[in-house]
Amino acid sequence: MSYFDVASTAPLHPVARQALTAALDEGWADPARLYRSGRQAAMLLDAARETVAGVLGARPDEISFTASGTQAVHLGVLGALRGNRRRGSHLLHSAVEHSSVLHAADLHEASGGEVSVAPVDRLGRVEAAQFAARLRDTTALAVLQHANHEVGTLQPVDEVAGLCRDAGVPLLVDAAQSAGRLDVPTGWSLLTASAHKWGGPAGVGVLGVRKGVRYASPLPADERERGRVPGYVNVPAIVAAAASLRAVRAGAERENARLHALVERIRARVPQLVPEVEVVGDPVRRLPHLVTFSCLYVDGEVLLGELDRAGFAVSSGSSCSSSTLTPSHVLAAMGVLTEGNVRVSLPYGTAGADVERFLAVLPGLVAGVREPLGLGLPQPARQEPVRPRPGAGTPVVDVPAGDAPVVDALVVDALGKRCPLPVIELAKRIGEVPPGGTVAVLADDEAARLDIPAWCQMREQEYMGEAPAAAYGGDRGLAYVVRRLS
């Protein structure tokens, strides 16, 4: 099995395994106790804290250990908001933050706080000035990830940090995907990370709080971890996490260059090998080991299953592989294709031969998933399409009074059908109208709002906009209107 999903979790680093075994013998006692075994555990914990702080560019007393990266985010967001409540209750974050940030924001809003969301471009990147323009006098915290977990795009954290500093607003930086691989930006007020992303054991998160940043734990008081994180710390796991972080960072420059070249190979060749595919994320300012692409007319869950049977473990941000049946909020915010999404994230040590084997089997697997559709896709595929930057809003077709359709159109009823079926139905039926004719796709799947415009761009058809489904005889959902150009 070729494991290509380190963005979810990395295999345990050999150094982590060695350190964990040793620490189980030497660091099992309570580090808060004064007897010999307790003092030994405390020494190991202090050394691990110093190691992590050194790699992340922090002081040891600014670093606390949590039970996970998610808990670090929750404590960081809610603790900073509580600590700055005299300033106000406004929280600002980007549209592509990890779900842990979104859930903390939801809780804050439900408690009476205010939340603003900064948009991103089609590469998944915020514009620093636009982000800063959403800061208010009442903003208690801003949140911006260093690197996106789904598409790998790096954010302009240093620039945003300077603007936040000028406004007197603390900035929380989620470095879960970049810690250990890249230098951590220096302008953060709070920092979060997760050990299992860099090859440490699961169950260790990192919360950094700069000296002087107002912070008040949102949980009941506890004397451990400087009052920021309650509960007994897992000293052996923390020791292993610190050892693996130091080892990974020491070899990162050489390994990053090698993985970057392998990812470049995937980015270039997938659009050549697979028809109707969109490679997403920033092609330049990105993580070195991660690439994401989306395939038209493909159920992402089915494709991931086929890749698994072929010996490749990959993941997806597609709505089709999610139990929520809603599009990935990251892909939706970018305005890119959501169906048939595949995220490849290469672990340290990945061989070029494994990537070549992936590229060799992928076209056949995608073709096999699409083959029953009988769509007659062109070969070879076009190169990665350049699509207009989102942000101008979704076009809306003017609907006259009454129940009459806006224009005479072929109505394709895809109500009740999930991604990618609405797009598949559109592709099958558009040939029934002459050039200049229109098709109205009735759909109630959220992904259709993203995928039908993307299909029009990739197939060089005109997306006219959306209208209430009732204007075309539907009883729910929306009508997505497409004009055939060729």
Taking the whole predicted model, whether its pTM rises above 0.85 is answered as yes
Same topology for domains 10-250 and 410-483, yes or no?
Answer: no
What's residue 96's pLDDT? 97
Over residues 210-229, mean pLDDT: 91
List pLDDT tens digits, range 239-274: 999 999 999 999 999 999 999 999 999 999 999 999
For the chain, the average pLDDT equals 91
pLDDT at 323: 45
For residue 121, pLDDT beyond 60: yes
| 486 pLDDT tier (thresholds 50, 70, 90) | confident
Report the candidate in 370, 210, 239, 237 with the shortest Cα–Cα distance to residue 300.
Answer: 370
Q: What is the pLDDT of residues 309-356, one digit of tens each?
A: 999 999 987 544 444 456 789 998 998 888 889 999 999 999 999 999
**Mean pLDDT confidence for 214-227:** 90
Interacting residues of 415 by C-beta distance below 8 A, sequence separation 6+: 442, 443, 444, 469, 474, 475, 476, 477
Lowest mean pLDDT among 3-12, 17-26, 347-356, 417-426: 417-426
pLDDT value of residue 224:
86
pLDDT score recorded for residue 391: 38
Rounded CA-CA distance 287/302 in Å is 27
Ranges 298-302, 347-351, 385-389, most confident: 347-351
CA angle 420, 425, 427 (to 5 degrees): 95
pLDDT for the residue 385: 37
**The pLDDT of residue 29:** 95
Stretch 283-301: mean pLDDT, rounded? 94
Range ranked top by mean pLDDT from 287-301, 305-319, 452-466: 287-301
Range in 227-236, 321-330, 386-395 the model is least confident about: 386-395
CATH architecture observed for domain 258-373? Alpha-Beta Complex (3.90)
Identify the bridge partners of residue 90 per DSSP, sorted by sequence position: 114, 139
Q: For the chain, give every domain's residue range.
A: 10-250, 258-373, 410-483
CATH class of 410-483: alpha beta
- Give 151 or 223, the one with higher predicted confidence: 151
Average pLDDT over residues 45-57: 97
Catalytic site includes residue 456? no
**CA-wise closest residue to 61 among 47, 50, 51, 72:** 50
Three-state SS for 255?
A: helix
Active-site position among 295, 320, 419, 456: 320
The pLDDT value recorded for residue 418 is 84
How confident is the model at residue 389, as a pLDDT?
35
pLDDT band at 399 (very low <50, low <70, confident <90, very high): low
- Domain 10-250 in CATH 1.10.1060.10: no
